[in-house]
Every structure is written in structure tokens, then in C-alpha cells.
Amino acid sequence: MNERVTICQIQEKKRRKEKIVVLTAYDYSLATLIDRCGVDIVLVGDSLANVVLGLESTAEVTMAEMLHHAKAVRRAVKRAFLVGDMPFESYQKDPSQAVANAIRFIKEAGCDAVKFEWFDRCLEVVADCARAGIPVMGHVGLTPQTAERMGGFKVQGKSAASAQKILEHALALEKKGVFSLVLECVPAPLAAMITRQIKIPTIGIGAGKDCDGQVLVTHDLLGLFDLFTPKFVKRYAEVAEVMTQGISRFCDDVRKGHFPDKEHSYSMAPEELDQIKEKMW
Ligand code: KIV
């Protein structure tokens, strides 16, 4: 149970028809809990921008911020396979810079692989990463970093022509060597078709139940972030409520002088106290 999850084990799960569980993490405490629950892959997602940094778009998060959080998650994750999400503009401009940035996720942050979203030169970058020995998780369908410029946050692949494009992207990425593929916001029947056609595992988010695995943003499923909630999110807990109650009780206790009480304070030997009192008065 405590051995590190490997790419072979993840891919073997597809062959055995065992579902792959993926969650996002951005900090030590939550990553520790997630890892203890036995998830297969932890993704330091660029959703960090929204749920942790309070930015409007995932395109705003920087390499330095992603690496900072990935390092914290690495300290916590002992078992799961750890993937770092490459931020916008860290991989699109020039393939050699993309590989250099991917290496930073592996070497500096200790990630096991990187993920990046589909873009026009992404096959070139996947091939270069493969040559550099860096495992890559692909991401097709809705690509949030560029969604706004591409017509908004909408389900992708609803028409036969756009579905065909997504299928072609998936096949091309598999051929170039990605070890798994995120399918975001695509119709369930299309995701099922892609899952059947490629040998690498598909990880769905808003892509129906037939993907080989599922990923959600942890803050969404725990009810820790509610500025916007996509249709595909299922809430498994109302953590914000529990936290709000705890914080309010603390505020109340401090204001009423109930905290700290004796149990949460340190005492001192009376003779030591007397000595210091003598010196002061
Ligand atoms: O950043 C993210 O959270 C993602 C999703 C696929 C979960 O990329």
C-alpha cells in the first residue's frame, strides 16, 4: 500500500478495468489527507489559480507559483503518482523552453510527470519531453487556459466535426507517447468512444462514467470553493460550513475571554514567579 504508484500500475488498471482515482492538491495538509485515502494520481492543478490564489483565470498562475505549491505537495505525497500542471505560457511559446520548464517540475518540485493542455504545437512538445524522459499527461476537450479566447467554457465535441477533432487529438497524443489523457467537458458517448479507441487511460472531468478514471478539483468536491460550480461537480462534503462554524466559535471565545483557558496555557513554578515579581516591583 505504501509503495509509490507507477505509470505501469496506472496503465494496468485500464487493462483490468479498475477505475483510476485522481484528485488535485495544492498544499501539504490536504495533500497528506488525499494521499492517505489512497488516490492513484495527485495533480497539482493550475486550478490553484482559482481555488487557492483567488485569480479569475487559470491562465494567470505563474511557473514560480506552481512550483512553490508542487514542492509542498511533494513533501506530503508518499504513495500517489504526482503530476504537475504546466501553467499557461510555460510551454506554448517554444518547445525547448517547454522542456526546460517541464524539467523544473521534475527536478525542483519532485513531480513524477507533467500535464499540459492541447495546443497547436503540443505534439512537438510531447515528443521533446519523451526524448528528455519526462512523462506527460495530455488534456483535450475543454482547455481552460485558452477557453475564454476559444469561445467560452462550453462542452466541447458536441458536433460530429468537433468530436472528430478531439478524437484525432487523442489518437495523436497517444502516438506521441502521453501516458494518460484528461478529457474535460466532452459528451459522455464521445469520451466512451475515445476510451475504447486508445490504449492509454482516459481521466474524465465532465466526460461521463466510461472514462478509465475520474478527476475533480478537491476544493469543489469538499465544498470549499463555491464561487462557481460546474455541472459535473458532485459535492461530497460541506467543509466550508464546518470551517465557518469552527472559526466563528474561536472568534466568540476570544471576545468573551473563554480562550485560552487553563488547559491551553502554560504554568510556571510559583517560586520562579515570585522571584520575577520581586525584581519588577
Ligand atoms: O487544474 C486542474 O484542476 C485540472 C483539472 C483537469 C482537474 O487541470
Q: Which atom of ligand 1 lies at the shortest distance from residue 117's CA?
A: 8
Q: pTM of the prediction?
A: 0.95
From first to last of its 281 residues, what are the pLDDT tens digits of the chain? 569 999 999 999 999 999 999 999 999 999 999 999 999 999 999 999 999 999 999 999 999 999 999 999 999 999 999 999 999 999 999 999 999 999 999 999 999 999 999 999 999 999 999 999 999 999 999 999 999 777 789 999 999 999 999 999 999 999 999 999 999 999 999 999 999 999 999 999 999 999 999 999 999 999 999 888 899 999 999 999 999 999 999 999 999 999 999 999 999 999 999 999 998 86
State the distance from the centre of ligand 1 to the C-alpha of 275, rounded, in angstroms. Answer: 61
Separation between Cα atoms, residue 77 and residue 79, nearest integer Å: 6
State the distance from the centre of ligand 1 to the C-alpha of 56, rounded, in angstroms. Answer: 15
pLDDT for residue 2: 65
Ligand 1 neighbour 217 (Cβ under 6 A): yes
Ligand 1 neighbour 92 (Cβ under 6 A): no
What is each CA distance from 147 to 26, 151, 226, in whole angstroms?
22, 6, 20
pLDDT for residue 227: 85
Q: 73 near 105, Cβ under 8 Å?
A: no
Q: What is the chain's mean pLDDT, rounded?
A: 96
Ligand 1 neighbour 182 (Cβ under 6 A): yes
Ligand 1 neighbour 220 (Cβ under 6 A): no
CA trace torsion 254, 258, 264, 267 (10° rounding): 110
In the chain, domain spans: 7-237, 242-280
pLDDT for residue 106: 98
Q: 222 near 243, Cβ under 8 Å?
A: no
Ligand 1 neighbour 47 (Cβ under 6 A): yes
Q: Which atom of ligand 1 lies at the shortest distance from residue 115's CA?
A: 8
State the distance from the centre of ligand 1 to the C-alpha of 268, rounded, in angstroms. Answer: 52
The dihedral through the CA atoms of 66, 68, 71, 76 has a sign that is negative
Ligand 1 neighbour 180 (Cβ under 6 A): no
State the distance from the centre of ligand 1 to the C-alpha of 249, rounded, in angstroms. Answer: 34
**What amino acid positions are annotated as catalytic residues?**
184
Ligand 1 neighbour 87 (Cβ under 6 A): no
Name the residue of 53, 205, 218, 232 to mutate for ligand 1: max ligand atoms within 8 A of Cβ: 205
Nearest residue by C-alpha to atom 2 in ligand 1: 45
In total, the chain counts a number of residues equal to: 281
Domain 7-237 has CATH 2.60.120.380: no
Cell of 109: 518540485
pLDDT for residue 250: 98
Spell out where 79-171 has E strands.
81-85, 113-115, 136-141
pLDDT for residue 274: 95
Name the residue of 34, 58, 203 to mutate for ligand 1: max ligand atoms within 8 A of Cβ: 58
Q: Which atom of ligand 1 lies at the shortest distance from residue 144's CA?
A: 8
